[in-house]
Structures are given as structure tokens and as C-alpha cells.
């Protein structure tokens, strides 16, 4: 049973929260279209007379999207915290929406893992029929990548600490745990930037670098998004927005962060460890390849 019943113009009660008309879906669509158009014009090096578009359209689109995100989510927080119109039925829908979003993100990463495993299990002549490709100086797994793994796993522990603190009504502990989690997230990103700067291969130097940078790079982007998400939660926790009964905004961020942790574990095992250390030479397994050589 919902906490509060609302009434339609017919006077019939229902447990759902009907939001007020909002301009942000329309503005968001315009901003997204501007970002896509700007990206296309940048990639095709479009100019209008003497005016060169370059990154101007992309930056304008990003600014528009960020503006919509800020004001739209501000309205959602107002509905939840001030008006308290997000009842249990509303939260039920929000939970399913977040779960479906994370499921779509899982499939997003499946594509990158698929590309990596395809190159590793079925190497072509371009890679010398070996994996990692011949002459590729890979990043050793039990160095910096292992340290980064420990950092992310620790951040998963601290975000769980924050969750339990909120459930038990310990605001100060929740703020402290969220602050540590955000710090660990950006700490991880600093090490990833360092790793990329010292890698001995470039993005366009073959299937291995392309698959490596796409998979780990997009994961790094997700860590950045999750860290920003948790930063907002940290600010909201300081303001006392989260209570043991009402804290889905934090819960969604925690789910997302645990998803980021799990993806990194798969990346560490499949890409850094197995993919870098396997040293598979397929020439001996395929007589046709051996004969061609």
C-alpha cells in the first residue's frame, strides 16, 4: 500500500506520483541532438565559410546536457525531499529503471569483451597468429593494475559502509564513508591516467591496443561518472537528505558503483591477467598455418 494516495481530475485515488509538466525532456532532447550534431561536424571537419566548427559544437552540446542534468535532477530531489511525493510505488518503478539501465551497461561492456576474446582466441595473420601480438610489450597484471584493483575493492567496502550507516541513521558515518569512496574513485582514475601515459603501445597500433583502451577506457569513464554520482550523494548526505526509510538516490549510486567494481574484476582477470600472460601461439595448432609459413 502506498504511503500517500493522489487524486486525478476524476477524483479516483491512485498510488502513483504524477509529475508536473516539465520542460527538461524537451530541452534534454535538443541538447542531445546538438551534442550528436556537433560531434558529427567535428569528425567530418565541417566549416561554414570561414567559420570552422571544430570542438565548439561538441562543447556546447556537453554544456547543454550537463545543464539539463543539473536542473532536472534538482527538480527530482525537490519532489523527493521537500514535497515527499515519491512513495513506495514510485520507488519501485525507479528501482526497475535503474536495474534495466545497469543491464544495458552490462551489454555495452560485453561488446568490448567479445572483441578482446575474438582477437585472443582466434588471432589472425596481422597479430602473427599469437596473442598477445608479436612485439607487443603488455602491462604486467600484478603491478599497477593489481593496486588499482585493491583501490576499487576498498571503495566497494566503503560504499557498503555508507549504506549501512544510512540504514542505521548514522549521518556522520555515512558522510565520512561517502567521502572516502569518492576519494578512492578519483585516486583510481589518477593511476589509470598514469598507466595510459606510460603504456608502450598506442590506440591505433592493432587489435590488442584498440580492444584494451576501449574496454579499460570506457570503464574509467564509468568510474568518473560513478564518482561524480557519489559526490552528489555525499553533498546530499551532509544536508540530511537520506533517511533509513528514504534513500533511493544513494542506493542507485551504490548499485552503479558495485557494477563498476565487478566490471573491473572481469577486466583485470580477462584482459590484464589471462589476456596478457597467456602467450598463446596458435601456429603449432593449425597445420595449414604452419604449412603457409
> What is the distance between the alpha carbons of residues 182 and 44, in angstroms, rounded to a whole number?
37
Cα separation, 276 vs 132, whole angstroms: 6
Confidence grade of residue 96 (pLDDT, cut at 50, 70, 90): very high
> How far, CA to CA in Å, does 271 sit from each of 147, 169, 215, 264, 265?
15, 41, 9, 10, 10
Residue 165: other Cβ atoms inside 10 A: 21
**Beta-bridge mates of residue 13:** 7
Find, among 155, 153, 165, 170, the residue nearest to 231 by Cα: 155
* CB-neighbour burial class of residue 224 (10 A; exposed 0-12, middle 13-18, buried 19+): middle
Farthest CA pair distance, the chain: 82
Residue 292 has pLDDT above 70, yes or no: no
Report pLDDT digits (tens) over 173-185.
999 999 999 999 9
Q: How far is CA 275 from the centre of its chain?
A: 23
Rg (CA), the chain: 24
Q: How far is it, in rounded angstroms, from Cα 94 to Cα 66?
A: 21
Q: What is the pTM of this model?
A: 0.84
Sign of CA dihedral 138, 139, 141, 145: negative
The answer to whether residue 293 scores a pLDDT higher than 60 is no
Give per-residue pLDDT as tens, 189-210. Answer: 999 999 999 998 888 888 889 9
102-150 tens-digit pLDDT: 999 999 999 999 989 988 888 877 777 788 887 788 888 999 999 999 9
Task: Decide if 250 contacts 175 (C-beta within 8 A).
Answer: no
Q: Are 179 and 167 in contact (CB under 8 A)?
A: no
* Domains of the chain and CATH, by start: 18-84 (1.10.287.70), 87-289 (1.20.120.80)
Amino acid at each position: 500500500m502506498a504511503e500517500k494516495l493522489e487524486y486525478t481530475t476524476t477524483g479516483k485515488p491512485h498510488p502513483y506520483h504524477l509529475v508536473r509538466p516539465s520542460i527538461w525532456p524537451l530541452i534534454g532532447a535538443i541538447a542531445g541532438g546538438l551534442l550528436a550534431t556537433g560531434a558529427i561536424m567535428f569528425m567530418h571537419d565541417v566549416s561554414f565559410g570561414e567559420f570552422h566548427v571544430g570542438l565548439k559544437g561538441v562543447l556546447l552540446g556537453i554544456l547543454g546536457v550537463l545543464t539539463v542534468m543539473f536542473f532536472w535532477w534538482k527538480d527530482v530531489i525537490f519532489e523527493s525531499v521537500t514535497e515527499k511525493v515519491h512513495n513506495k510505488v514510485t520507488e519501485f518503478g525507479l528501482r526497475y529503471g535503474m536495474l534495466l539501465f545497469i543491464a544495458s551497461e552490462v551489454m555495452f561492456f560485453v561488446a568490448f569483451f567479445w572483441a578482446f576474446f575474438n582477437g585472443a582466441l582466434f588471432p589472425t595473420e596481422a597479430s602473427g597468429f599469437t596473442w598477445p601480438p608479436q612485439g607487443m610489450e603488455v602491462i604486467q597484471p600484478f603491478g599497477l593494475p593489481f593496486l588499482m584493483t585493491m583501490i576499487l575493492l576498498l571503495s566497494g567496502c566503503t560504499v557498503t559502509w555508507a549504506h549501512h550507516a544510512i540504514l542505521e541513521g548514522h549521518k556522520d558515518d555515512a558522510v565520512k564513508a561517502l567521502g572516502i569512496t569518492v576519494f578512492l574513485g578519483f585516486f583510481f582514475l589518477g593511476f589509470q591516467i598514469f598507466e595510459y601515459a606510460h603504456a608502450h603501445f598506442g590506440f591505433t597500433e592493432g587489435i590488442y591496443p584498440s580492444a584494451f583502451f576501449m574496454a579499460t577506457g570506457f570503464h574509467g569513464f564509468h568510474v568518473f561518472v560513478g564518482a561524480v554520482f557519489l559526490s552528489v550523494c555525499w553533498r546530499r548526505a551532509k544536508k540530511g537528505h537520506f533517511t533509513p526509510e528514504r534513500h533511493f538516490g544513494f542506493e542507485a549510486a551504490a548499485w552503479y558503483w558495485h557494477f563498476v567494481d565487478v566490471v573491473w574484476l572481469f577486466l583485470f582477470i580477462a584482459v590484464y591477467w589471462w589476456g596478457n600472460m597467456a602467450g598463446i601461439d596458435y601456429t603449432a595448432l593449425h597445420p595449414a598455418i604452419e604449412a603457409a609459413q
